[in-house]
Amino acid sequence: MARLILFNKPYGVLSQFTDRGSPEARATLSDHLDIPGVYPAGRLDRDSEGLLLLTDDGRLQARIADPRFKMAKTYLVQVEGEADEAQLLRLRRGIELKDGLTRPAGANHIADPDLWPRDPPVRFRKSVPDCWLKLTISEGRNRQVRRMTAAVGLPTLRLVRWRIGEWSLDGLAPGAWRETTTP
């Protein structure tokens, strides 16, 4: 049976076990996980937080990460500015990026979520409002959510992946992990 690990990747951690090519020491998965034989199913940028799935099964890894399988990924996104219905509608229809039109996204304004504090904290500017969105996408282009929100005039301040398919971050503190069953 395949192993599947749910990991709450903290801000500033690379989605890989080693860091090659940087003169500065950067945090990696090996600073949090000592589980031989598992590898990330997809990536999460160093400046993003949240759910990262790891498995020892190549077919499961492909099913989770490959855009052909259209596995939904849900993000809680703090953006600079106050989202209006026109901006949300553009996200829902798909955004034209340099690498083509994105698939339509689920996009909703949400109340501030009850999340752990980020270290370092998101900059706060008294004169610039911010809000939280819940975005659900079914592809995984490089920095896609950040590029989509920027394209509608809402730069991302904080990005937390909350759900991948049926798996969610519920009950996992930053840096914590748990093993679960595969579907």
pLDDT digits (tens, 9 = 90+) for 36-71: 999 999 889 999 999 999 999 988 888 888 877 788
Cα separation, 95 vs 87, whole angstroms: 10
17: left (phi over 0), alpha (psi -120 to 50) or beta: alpha
Quote the pLDDT of residue 46.
93
Quote the pLDDT of residue 5.
95
Structural domains in the chain, CATH included, are 1-69+168-183 (3.30.70.580), 72-164 (3.30.70.1560)
Verdict on whether the full-model pTM lies above 0.85 = yes
Write the pLDDT tens digit of every residue in 125-140.
888 899 999 999 998 8
Beta strands in the chain (DSSP E): 4-9, 39-40, 49-55, 73-80, 96-97, 100-101, 106-110, 130-137, 156-164, 167-168, 177-180
* Residue 45 annotated as catalytic: yes
Tokens of 86: 């026109």
The DSSP code for 118 is P
Q: Catalytic: which of 19, 45, 56, 66?
A: 45
Tokens of 180: 């679960």
Are the CB atoms for 161 and 48 separated by under 8 Å?
Answer: yes
Residue type for 65, please?
A: A
**Burial of 81 by CB count in 10 Å (0-12 exposed, 13-18 middle, 19+ buried)?**
middle
Query: What percent of the chain has a predicted confidence (pLDDT) above 90?
Result: 74
Quote the pLDDT of residue 20.
79
Cα separation, 39 vs 4, whole angstroms: 10
Quote the pLDDT of residue 127.
82
Low-confidence residues of the chain: pLDDT under 70: 183
